[in-house]
Structures are given as C-alpha cells and as structure tokens.
Amino acid sequence: MAKKKFVVASFDDEKVLFPAVKKVRLSGYKIHDVYTPYPVHGLDHALGLRETSLHTAGFIYGISGTTIALGGMGWVFTTDWPLNIGGKPHFPLPAFIPITFETTVLLSAVGMVLTFCYLCQLAPFVKKHHFSLRATDDLFVMVIECTSKTNVDDLQSFLSNAGAVDVNVQEAEAGWWLGTYDKDQVLLKEQPAV
C-alpha cells in the first residue's frame, strides 16, 4: 500500500471535538478517522458512519446454533442410534431445550466475536500505524487525509482555530483494508435556515 499524507489534530475535550468535526466536514475535508480513548456517543453519527450490522450477524449465528443443536440431537435419537430410554419418546422436545439454548448462545457469541475481530482487523501480532499514542489515554485524535489539492498549511491553521491542542502532519500507511471504510463518505452540507 502506498503511503499517504495525513494531518493529525488532537483535541482534549469532546465538547470541542464535536463542533470541530462538523466544521471540518462542512469545509469539504475528508476525515480519515477519529481515535478516542473511550466510545464517545454520537461521534459515529457526527462522522456520518452507518450503523453496524454486527447484531444481525449475531442473530444468524444464533439461529444456526439452534438448528444444529435441534437437528443434531433429533438425528441422533431418531435415526442414527434410536435408544429406548424407559419408554420415553425418541424426540423429547422439552428435554432438548437446555442444550439447544446453550448451543444458540455459544455459536452466537463466538461467531460475533470472531466477526468483530475480522471486521476491525484485530488479532495478536497485528501492527497498525498509531497516529498518536495518547489516543488511548486522554486525547481525541482526528485524522484528515490529504489529497493533491489539499493546502496543508491552511488545514493546519484551520484545525488549530477549531480548538485542536496539537496539530501535525504524518505520512503513514493506512494499510489495513478497513482503513478505507469511509470511501463514500457523504459531505455534510449546511441546510438553509428556515
């Protein structure tokens, strides 16, 4: 992957961050990402990110678990090796509920966590470029991608005016594939006041 140029602005308060995000987007800059030390509620909407569908994946894993457990136990007890246990039915549904439930939960949880790790590209030994080491401590780090048209100096002073405590330019490889999830990011346009 080619190296790209980024302008990195750090904010120390989410109260400053929100208006800054709006200003930057209104001015037509493309925000690569904002790195925060904790989940800042509403920031995903402010950045124009869509809702995650992780829970839908969880549901699909869950019903797969239900099907596998019920189908598997039913097949074993009725087809593969039917046993007469005290004259009880071969498909005792109430007695199958505990295992069916546990398998549903197990598959859903394991599947969701693996999907989460895959989508976020999280795994041991994965190395990514960290724009600021304090992004996991106390700073909210906004990273803006520069194109050939970007005037870097203007952008830097613009960000300082927006309340950033520190602005610098970094060349980095945003080389993991989801780094470009905001490819089709829609620019925010101010609505005319009514």
**Residue 119, number of CB atoms within 10 A of its CB:** 14
Backbone phi and psi for residue 75, each to the nearest 5 degrees, phi listed first: -65, -45
Q: How many residues bind another protein (CB under 8 A)?
A: 69
- Please choose, from the candidates 32, 46, 30, the residue with its C-alpha nearest in 3D space to the C-alpha of residue 128: 32
- Please choose, from the candidates 69, 53, 57, the residue with its C-alpha nearest in 3D space to the C-alpha of residue 108: 57
Q: How far is the CB of 81 from another protein (least distance, A)?
A: 6
| Touching another protein, residues 166-185 (CB under 8 A) | 178, 181
Per CB under 8 A, 113 contacts another protein: yes
Helices (H) and strands (E) in the chain, counts: 5, 4
122 Cβ contact list (under 8 Å, min separation 6): 116
Q: Which of 3, 63, 78, 102 binds another protein (CB under 8 A)?
A: 102
* Residue span binding another protein (CB under 8 A) among the ranges 3-11, 30-38, 151-159, 162-170: 30-38
- Name which of 95 and 151 has its Cβ closer to another protein: 95
Positive or negative CA dihedral for 186, 153, 17, 121?
A: positive
The strand ranges marked E within 20-158 are: 31-35, 140-145
Q: How far is the CB of 161 from another protein (least distance, A)?
A: 20
Per CB under 8 A, 17 contacts another protein: no
Q: How many residues appear in the chain?
A: 194
Amino acid letter, 61: Y
- Name which of 62 and 162 has its Cβ closer to another protein: 62
Which residues sit at the interface with another protein, rule CB under 8 A? 18, 33-40, 42-45, 47, 49, 51-52, 54-55, 58, 62, 72-73, 76-77, 80-81, 83, 85, 88, 92, 95-96, 98-99, 101-103, 105-106, 108-110, 112-113, 116-117, 119-128, 130, 133-138, 141, 178, 181, 191, 194
